[in-house]
RNA sequence: GCUCGGGUGGCGGAAUAGGUAGACGCGCAGGACUUAAAAUCCUGUUGGCAGCAAUGUCAGUACGGGUUCGAUUCCCGUCCCGAGCACCA
């Protein structure tokens, strides 16, 4: 009983803490509050590994310390429980994600409790709990019912916006919104309900839009930008395509400025802030319009849609690739027809008009509502959504492109169809009759009267038919001051004007380039080589300031997605433009120089932003910042541009075509979204037969008709993304069981926000941006008192695992794996059935004659050149059925018999003369990387607790190094920490092994040791320097051990200092000292400096900067007396060697330096 | 390419308003206790040179310069490692 054995008491204390609700936190207290939060984990099937607790231990130490310091500490834990892995697992096994998630959570909690954390589990939240996501949905509703008033710089309610519309229209509204045509109050009132709703959607902070999104067919869902890396999904590495989809978006861009500015108010790591700044990507400059030069009138329309070269013109123009992309949406559309579409279909189907119609059919790049292919007639039925100017223009473009494919297009509105279906049918009939029928399909019926439906449809003119002088190219530039040096323009290949402005001569080349650029981007990402490419369109624009015609080019260094997708190229002062101009021989004009006018742009562009303008007429002599202001004023005066701030940040896609997420509290009527009544919250997830993504872009929920169809409309069948629930969870912890509000006002007012937030830096541009966004929104609508979620944030480093990789040879088409070298000569060992080959990294580089796959393997043991297969092969790797076989390794291969009876030894196959090639490094590739089950490098904290106890694990993880630093896990030092706890334990026991503590007065020396430790502990915790505190404890215990100090007056305060780090042993010894109350709430010992004060100091004396001797002087000794003492010293005399004293440096309490 | 971190013994890492470099731990070596082992305790451990030894002495915080009585710490340049961003106009 006398030796330290954590197993004897750790579990017992954990049980008692639980039974006594030792960690229960009250919402009302006279104590000051302190909120310590860990980023809650996603409960994966693999369980916790030793990396997870690193941050949790640190936050637990702070929590316990603050509690000792008299704070009311909120330290909760919960689970981010919605997400893809559980759903993927459900797809594979058919198990409900809720079931597996609950299992995983139970396992996590068990593991966490093993380590003795001070969480108040009564406040646990799980994002997948309906009682939780009710409020996630509720916040979504608030976003839907809000708009952003730029003038007030905050979110306001939609009802206030409606009031403004009713009073004065939208002209005076300065909102962060989609482009909306101006209307007066009268015009607003004249609009019907649906039209009004459609317009309001342009303003809402949660809105629907068709946008290009990252569609991942394998995962069956849309992914956020940050979930896509290098064109494949971050999770799983599946290919991702850019497709157009109708999605929910959150208008985070409205908050871009505040998200950026408020970074200065919070104590977060600088690199993380930098990442957010980068992601938000604010740049100031100007938007400028360039007119096309009149001289380009020789152009002829180049009407062909961008087919990427793989489609024939004509109606067959839907390429296979386009069709593959479009088909799922077409199918989906067929299921989700509007009422009007259904109505009309009944009149058209089954050859009712004498011709076969198809619905939701792909033509070119479009899915049209109805088409009669033989008659080449397209019929479109549009909701009121098509009434906006923007959509009219889109529709016009669509009509135009369809016409280029040889189709006639007629359009009807929903209303027309619903009110006068037969009139609509007759018009279609007439159009059919007017169409020259293609051969083949249908009966060839032709009608008597030949009205041209195309003309009748009253289409707006195609962009080409408008006056050419109207064509203007808008650019964004951060250097408008250099406009006099703009000698050409460059558009992105995808720019909408490219087709329109390209001249006949350049048409072929431009199309070739567009095709090339489309293919290039993929390849370009792979290779880092940057080549200059581009193509002249034949068109010229006018530089509004020099009046010169400047050529318009297209090039893929201009991105379609940023700014306007077009730039004014200033080769003299932008390196990319410079390279482009040099490559294509375009003119380069210098317009900025430095103070001495010594800048040459013969070799490279001059990009400095502190120069002086030259060759720039009105700007000459101005410094760059002044020139910017001047030119912007000029642009605004001329009405061809204005100052503008651009952000890189995009609105956040908020729809996922998935099952395991929060359902939207939304139903659709007539294609318009409406919130469900608040009393219906939460909208719970129904059970489904299959969790498989449908593959056509809709979630598994869409299949459950009884859920989808409600008396009030059809439910939204997408679910919210994983980050929805985590964007506000820190608030729910404050008041987790509130059934009436997400959290009550007075409780939120008490806890405010998080004082210390701990988590990984990988969430910099995801969770941490979204949670700031939602916090600001909730602040705007008056629900919470602060606009930032966390005052201080610390990124704990990752604890990495050491994994080993090996190259595995894959069989060829004939099932053979080539063996080479001497093995080959031994004969028939090439069958993939019999052997599996692993080759070295070296062999892989040498060009091993087979496809190779890099796989992770568990740590491999090699004994006498024979590999132990048991360590190599585990069920999950599925390499071999018999685990007792041996594997053999050579420079070029490792192999083993697939049969238990077939015994092979190294000698059988390999000539020993070559055996020096056998070396571990030849076949394994050790690498330090993230711990993960699939990499076989996971260390389970339970094993550590089992062997050494929770306190040792806690101390050791802290002792590894600075919290923020990433480091590989190794258990080399853990014994030392365990030994330290043993030494501490022994301080309380006498030689006979009996508990014995003395009540004697401590000596001055003992008190000094104690107070040194108290000071260090308190300072280090405040600085989050946990590793050095552990050293301090060790020093303290070593010193007390030397003195054989077992005095209560020293040991009691020491236990309190140690208790945040090692709560179990502290609590156990505290109890043995006779305390009936636990140690948790004991006041942290006061540091008293008087015990540290010395009256003399042993000065290091250096001669010419090198320390030579130590001499003790009283601290209050005068410099002169010290000087005399030093110079009289023997050693000093020796070094002086009689040389004259040049200088005498005396720093009190620090150092003495003698210069000769 | 740009931005931000960081290079200290065999290893993890201490120490920077400029002031004894290598705390603490691991590992290693030697010793004590023991019939033995475990456990525990003690001693040494940056490198070179000299010495039986105590010790002395020189070098030393990636590299090259600078400021200073004094630089791991501040400044300039170079190299390397890590993270983030990456045609953002």
Query: What pLDDT is stored for residue A386 in this prediction?
Result: 59
> What would the two tokens of residue A637 be?
């005066």
- Could you tell me whether strands A358-363 and A488-491 are parallel, antiparallel, or unpaired per DSSP bridges? unpaired
What's the Å distance between residue A1059 CA and nucleotide B34 C1'? 36
Question: In the numeric block, which tokens belong to residue A457?
Answer: 């449809």
Band (pLDDT 50/70/90 cuts) for residue A865 is: very low
More confident residue, A113 or A801: A113
Q: What are the tokens at A1108?
A: 């030579």
Q: What is the mean pLDDT of residues A192-215?
A: 87
Name the DSSP class of A554.
E
Q: Which long-range contacts (CB under 8 A, 24 or more apart) does A702-708 make?
A: A702/A335
A950-959 and A1063-1072 are packed helices; what angle lies between their axes, rounded to 10 degrees? 130
Q: CB neighbours of A325 closer than 8 A, spacing ≥ 6?
A: A241, A243
ipTM of the complex: 0.93
| pLDDT for residue A529 is more than 60 | no
pLDDT of residue A75: 96
Count of beta carbons in the 10 Å neighbourhood of residue A328: 18
Nucleotide nearest to A1042 (CA to C1'): B41
CA nearest to A556, candidates A514, A587, A616: A514
Confidence check: pLDDT of A58 > 70: yes
| Structural Rg of chain A based on CA atoms | 37
* Model confidence pLDDT, tens digit, residues A249-306: 999 999 998 998 898 888 888 888 888 888 888 888 899 999 887 654 333 333 333 3
pLDDT tens string A1106-1134: 777 778 888 777 778 888 888 877 777 77
A501 touches strand B (CB under 7 A): no
Residues 6+ apart with CB under 8 A from A917: A890, A891
Query: Is the Cβ atom of A800 within 7 Å of strand B at any atom?
Result: no
Percent residues over pLDDT 90 in chain A: 33
pLDDT class of A462 with cuts at 50, 70, 90: very low
Looking at residue A989, the DSSP 8-state letter turns out to be: B
pLDDT at A384: 60
Mean pLDDT of the region A1097-1103: 81
Q: How far apart are CA A1030 and CA A895, in angstroms?
A: 48
How far apart (Å, rounded) are the C-alpha atoms in residues A227 and A539?
39
Q: Using the CA of A482, give the nucleotide whose C1' is nearest.
A: B89
B36 C1' – A3 CA distance, angstroms?
A: 22
Of the pLDDT bands very low, low, confident and very high (cuts 50, 70, 90), residue A442 is very low
- Determine the pLDDT at residue A347: 76
Whether A852 contacts A809, CB under 8 Å: yes
pTM comes to 0.77
Q: What integer pLDDT is reported at residue A470 of this predicted model?
A: 61
- pLDDT at position A715: 93
Peptide bond into A682 cis (omega under 30): yes
Tokens of A255: 């908050």
SS3 content of chain A, % helix, strand, coil (to 5): 40, 20, 40
In this predicted structure, the answer to whether residue A469 has a pLDDT above a threshold of 50 is no
What is the distance in angstroms measured between the alpha-carbon CA of A1068 and the sugar C1' of B35? 38
Nucleotide nearest to A986 (CA to C1'): B40
pLDDT score of A580 more than 80 = yes
Cα separation of A197 and A864, whole Å?
Answer: 78
The reported pLDDT for the residue numbered A327 is 58
Give the pLDDT mean for A308-336. Answer: 47
Going by their DSSP bridges, the two strands A838-839 and A799-809 should be labelled as: antiparallel
Average pLDDT taken over every residue of chain A: 78
CA atom of A317 to C1′ atom of B20, Å: 83
Report phi then psi at A957, rounded to 5: -60, -35
- Supply the pLDDT for residue A436: 55
Mean pLDDT, range A188-199, rounded to an integer = 92
DSSP A273-331: HHHHHHHH--EEEEEEEEEBPGGGTT---------TT-S-SSGGG--HHHHHHHHHHHH
A1098 pLDDT above the threshold of 60:
yes
Q: Cα–Cα distance between A497 and A499 in angstroms, integer?
A: 6
What tens digit of pLDDT does each residue of A1059-1086 get?
A: 999 999 999 999 999 999 999 999 999 9
Please report the pLDDT score of residue A985 as a whole number.
92
User: Which residues have C-beta within 8 Å of that of residue A519, sequence separation ≥ 6?
Assistant: none
pLDDT digits (tens, 9 = 90+) for A610-668: 788 888 888 888 888 888 989 999 899 888 888 888 888 888 889 888 889 999 999 99
Task: Specify which residue's alpha carbon is closest to the C1' of nucleotide B21.
Answer: A1107
pLDDT at A813: 65
Q: Name residues whose C-beta falls within 8 Å of residue A626's C-beta, 6 or more positions apart in sequence.
A: none
Check pLDDT > 60 for residue A585. yes
The answer to whether some atom of strand B lies closer than 7 Å to the beta carbon of A145 is no
Say what the pLDDT of residue A522 is: 53
Q: Which of residues 272-311 of A touch strand B (CB under 7 A)?
A: 274-275, 278-279, 281, 283, 285
Q: Counting beta carbons within 10 angstroms of the beta carbon of residue A1134, is it exposed (0 to 12), middle (13 to 18) or buried (19 or more)?
A: exposed
Contact A117, A77 (CB under 8 A): yes
| Residues of chain A (563-592) having a beta carbon less than 7 angstroms from strand B | 563-565, 567, 570, 574, 576
What residues does A10 pair with on adjacent strands?
A: none
pLDDT class for A1147, splitting at 50, 70, 90? confident
Nearest nucleotide (C1') to alpha carbon of A558: B87
Selected residue with higher pLDDT from A107 and A423: A107
**Would you say residue A878 has pLDDT above 60?**
no
Q: How far is CA A625 from the centre of its chain?
A: 35
pLDDT band for position A1035 (50/70/90)?
very high
| Burial tier of A844 (Cβ tally within 10 Å: 0-12, 13-18, 19+) | middle
Distances in Å between the Cα of A492 and the Cα atoms of A381, A541, A730, A1088 are 33, 16, 43, 70
Beta bridge partners of residue A675, listed in sequence order: A666
* Minimum-distance nucleotide, CA of A566 to C1': B89
Instruction: Report which secondary-structure segment, H or E, holds A197.
Output: helix A193-201
pLDDT by residue (tens digit) across A534-572? 889 888 898 988 888 899 999 888 887 788 889 999 988
A60 CB-to-strand B distance under 7 Å? no
Residue A450's pLDDT is 30
Calpha distance A34→A71 (Å, rounded)? 6
Confidence (pLDDT) at A89: 83
pLDDT at A849: 60
Q: How far apart, in Å, do the first and last CA atoms of chain A sit?
A: 63
**With bands split at pLDDT 50, 70 and 90, how would you rate the model's confidence at A531?**
confident
DSSP string, A77-88: --B---SHHHHH
Q: Measured in angstroms, what separates residue A979's CA from nucleotide B29's C1'?
A: 21
Which positions 736-775 on chain A have a beta carbon less than 7 angstroms from any atom of strand B?
761, 765
Closest CA to A1010 of A986, A987, A1027: A987
Residues A166-187 have pLDDT tens digits of: 999 988 889 998 888 889 999 9
* pLDDT given at position A72: 95
Q: How far is the CA of A679 from the C1' of B52 (A)?
A: 94
Cβ of A253 less than 7 A from strand B: no
Sign of CA dihedral A336, A339, A341, A345: positive
pLDDT at A178: 85
- Confidence at residue A846, expressed as pLDDT on a 0 to 100 scale: 57
Nearest to A593 by CA among A551, A558, A623: A623
Which nucleotides of chain B does any protein CB come within 7 A of? Answer: 3-5, 11-15, 19-21, 23-27, 39-42, 57-58, 69-71, 82-89
Separation of CA A837 from chain center: 38
> What average pLDDT score do residues A1092-1103 get?
80
Confidence check: pLDDT of A758 > 60: yes
CB of residue A982 closer than 7 A to nucleic acid strand B? Answer: yes
Q: How many residues are there in chain A? A: 1156
Neighbouring C-alpha atoms within 13 Å toward the C-beta of A1139: 13
Scan residues 379-398 of chain A and list those with Cβ within 7 Å of strand B. Answer: none
Nearest to A240 by CA among A325, A364, A332, A323: A325
In the structure, what pLDDT confidence band is assigned to residue A141 with cuts at 50, 70 and 90? very high
Q: How far is CA A133 from CA A44, A127, A182, A702, in A?
A: 20, 6, 38, 20
Judge whether residue A237 has pLDDT over 80: no
Confidence of residue A801 (pLDDT cuts 50, 70, 90): confident
A444 touches strand B (CB under 7 A): no
Residue A181's pLDDT is 86
Determine if strand B comes within 7 Å of the CB of A968: no
Protein residue at shortest CA distance from C1' of B85: A278
A802 CB inside 7 Å of strand B = no
């Amino acid at each position: 009983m006398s030796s330290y054995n954590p197993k004897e008491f750790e579990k017992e204390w954990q049980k008692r803490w639980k039974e006594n609700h030792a960690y229960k936190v009250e919402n009302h207290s006279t104590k000051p509050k302190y909120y310590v939060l860990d980023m809650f984990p996603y409960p994966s099937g693999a369980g916790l590994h030793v990396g997870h607790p690193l941050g949790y231990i640190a936050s637990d130490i702070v929590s316990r310390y603050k509690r000792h310091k008299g704070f009311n500490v909120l330290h909760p834990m919960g689970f981010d429980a919605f997400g893809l892995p559980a759903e993927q697992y459900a797809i594979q096994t058919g198990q409900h994600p809720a079931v597996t998630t609950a299992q995983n959570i139970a396992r996590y909690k068990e593991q966490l409790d093993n380590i003795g954390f001070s969480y108040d589990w009564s406040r646990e939240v799980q994002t997948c709990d309906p009682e939780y996501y009710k409020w996630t949905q509720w916040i979504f509703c608030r976003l839907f019912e809000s708009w952003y008033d730029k003038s007030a710089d905050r979110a306001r309610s939609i009802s206030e916006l409606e009031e403004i519309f009713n009073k004065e229209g939208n002209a005076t509204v300065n909102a962060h919104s989609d482009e909306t045509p101006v209307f007066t109050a009268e015009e607003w009132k004249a609009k019907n309900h649906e039209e009004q709703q459609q317009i309001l959607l342009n303003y809402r902070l949660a809105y629907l839009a068709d946008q290009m999104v990252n569609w991942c067919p394998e995962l069956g869902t849309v992914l956020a930008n940050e979930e896509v890396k290098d064109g494949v999904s971050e999770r799983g590495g599946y290919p991702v395509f850019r497709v157009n989809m109708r999605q929910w978006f959150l208008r985070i861009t409205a908050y871009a400025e505040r998200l950026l500015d408020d970074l200065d108010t919070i104590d977060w790591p600088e690199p993380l802030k930098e990442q957010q700044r980068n992601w938000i990507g604010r740049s100031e400059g100007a938007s400028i319009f360039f007119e096309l030069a009149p001289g380009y009138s020789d152009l002829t329309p180049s009407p062909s849609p961008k087919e990427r070269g793989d489609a024939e013109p004509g109606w067959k123009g839907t390429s296979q690739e386009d069709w593959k992309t479009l088909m799922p949406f077409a199918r989906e559309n067929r299921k989700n027809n509007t009422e009007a579409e259904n109505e009309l279909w009944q009149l058209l189907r089954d050859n009712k008009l004498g011709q076969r119609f198809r619905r939701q059919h792909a033509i070119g790049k479009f899915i049209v509502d109805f088409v009669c292919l033989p008659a080449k007639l397209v019929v479109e039925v549009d909701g009121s959504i098509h009434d906006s100017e923007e959509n009219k223009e889109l529709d016009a473009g669509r009509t135009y492109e369809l016409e280029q494919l040889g189709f006639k297009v007629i359009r009807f509105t929903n209303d027309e169809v619903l009110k006068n279906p037969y009139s609509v049918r007759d018009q279609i009939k007439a159009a059919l009759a007017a169409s020259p029928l293609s051969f083949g399909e249908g009966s060839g019926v032709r009608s008597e009267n030949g009205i041209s439906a195309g003309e009748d449809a009253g289409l707006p003119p195609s962009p080409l038919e408008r006056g050419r002088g109207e064509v203007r190219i808008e650019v964004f530039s951060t250097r408008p001051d250099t406009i006099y040096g703009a000698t050409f323009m460059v558009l992105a290949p995808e720019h909408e004007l490219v087709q329109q402005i390209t001249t006949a001569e350049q048409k072929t080349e431009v199309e070739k380039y567009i095709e090339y650029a489309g293919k290039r981007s993929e390849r370009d990402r792979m290779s880092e080589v940057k080549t200059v490419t581009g193509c002249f369109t034949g068109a010229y624009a006018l530089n509004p300031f020099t009046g010169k015609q400047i050529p318009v080019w297209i090039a893929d260094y201009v991105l379609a997605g940023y700014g306007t997708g077009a730039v004014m190229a200033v080769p003299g002062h932008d390196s990319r433009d410079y390279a482009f101009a040099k490559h294509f021989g375009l003119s380069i004009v210098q317009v900025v120089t430095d103070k001495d006018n010594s800048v040459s742009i013969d070799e490279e562009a001059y990009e400095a932003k502190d120069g002086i303008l030259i060759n720039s007429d009105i700007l000459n002599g101005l410094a760059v910042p002044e020139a910017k202001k001047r030119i912007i004023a000029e642009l605004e005066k001329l009405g061809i541009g204005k100052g503008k701030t651009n952000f890189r940040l995009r609105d956040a896609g908020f729809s996922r075509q998935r099952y395991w997420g929060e359902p939207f509290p939304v139903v659709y009527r007539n294609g318009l979204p409406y919130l469900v009544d608040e009393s219906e919250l939460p909208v719970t997830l129904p059970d489904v037969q299959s969790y498989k993504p449908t593959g056509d872009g809709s979630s598994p929920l869409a299949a459950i008709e009884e859920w989808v169809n409600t008396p009030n409309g059809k439910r939204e069948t997408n679910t919210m993304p994983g980050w929805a629930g985590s964007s506000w969870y820190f608030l729910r912890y404050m008041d987790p069981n509130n059934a009436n509000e997400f959290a009550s006002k007075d409780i939120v007012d008490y806890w405010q926000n998080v004082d210390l937030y701990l988590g990984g830096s990988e969430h910099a541009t995801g969770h941490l941006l979204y949670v700031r966004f939602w916090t600001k929104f909730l602040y705007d609508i008056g629900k919470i008192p602060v606009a930032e979620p966390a005052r201080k944030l610390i990124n704990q480093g990752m604890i990495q695992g050491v994994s080993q990789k090996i190259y595995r040879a894959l069989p060829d088409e004939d099932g053979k794996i080539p063996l080479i070298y001497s093995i080959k000569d031994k004969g028939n060992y090439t069958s993939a059935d019999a052997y599996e080959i692993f080759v070295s990294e070296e062999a892989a580089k040498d060009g091993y004659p087979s496809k190779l796959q890099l796989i992770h393997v568990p740590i491999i043991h090699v004994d006498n050149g024979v590999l132990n297969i048991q360590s190599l092969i585990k069920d999950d790797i599925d390499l071999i059925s018999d685990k007792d076989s041996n594997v053999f390794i050579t420079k070029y291969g490792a192999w083993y018999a697939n049969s238990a009876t077939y015994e092979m030894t190294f000698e059988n196959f390999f000539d020993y003369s070559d055996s020096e090639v056998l070396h571990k490094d030849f076949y394994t590739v050790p690498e330090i990387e993230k711990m993960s089950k699939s990499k076989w490098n996971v260390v389970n904290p339970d094993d550590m607790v089992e062997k050494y106890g929770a306190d040792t694990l806690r101390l050791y993880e802290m002792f590894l190094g600075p919290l923020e630093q990433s480091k590989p896990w190794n258990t080399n030092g853990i014994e030392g920490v365990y030994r330290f706890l043993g030494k501490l334990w022994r301080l309380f026991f006498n030689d006979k092994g009996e508990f014995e503590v003395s009540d004697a007065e401590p000596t001055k020396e003992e008190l000094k040791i104690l107070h040194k430790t108290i000071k260090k502990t308190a300072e280090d915790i405040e600085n989050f320097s946990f590793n050095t505190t552990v050293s301090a404890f060790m020093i303290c215990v070593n010193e007390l051990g030397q003195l054989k100090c077992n005095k209560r007056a020293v040991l009691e305060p020491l236990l309190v200092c140690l208790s945040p780090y090692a709560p179990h042993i502290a609590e156990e010894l505290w109890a043995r000292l006779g305390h009936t109350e636990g140690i948790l709430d004991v006041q942290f010992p006061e540091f008293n400096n008087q015990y540290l004060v010395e009256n003399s100091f042993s000065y290091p004396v250096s001669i010419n900067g090198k320390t030579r001797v130590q001499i003790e002087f009283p601290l209050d000794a005068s410099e002169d007396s010290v000087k005399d003492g030093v110079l009289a010293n023997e050693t000093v005399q020796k070094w002086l060697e009689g040389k004259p004293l040049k200088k005498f440096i005396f720093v009190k309490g620090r150092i003495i330096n003698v210069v000769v």
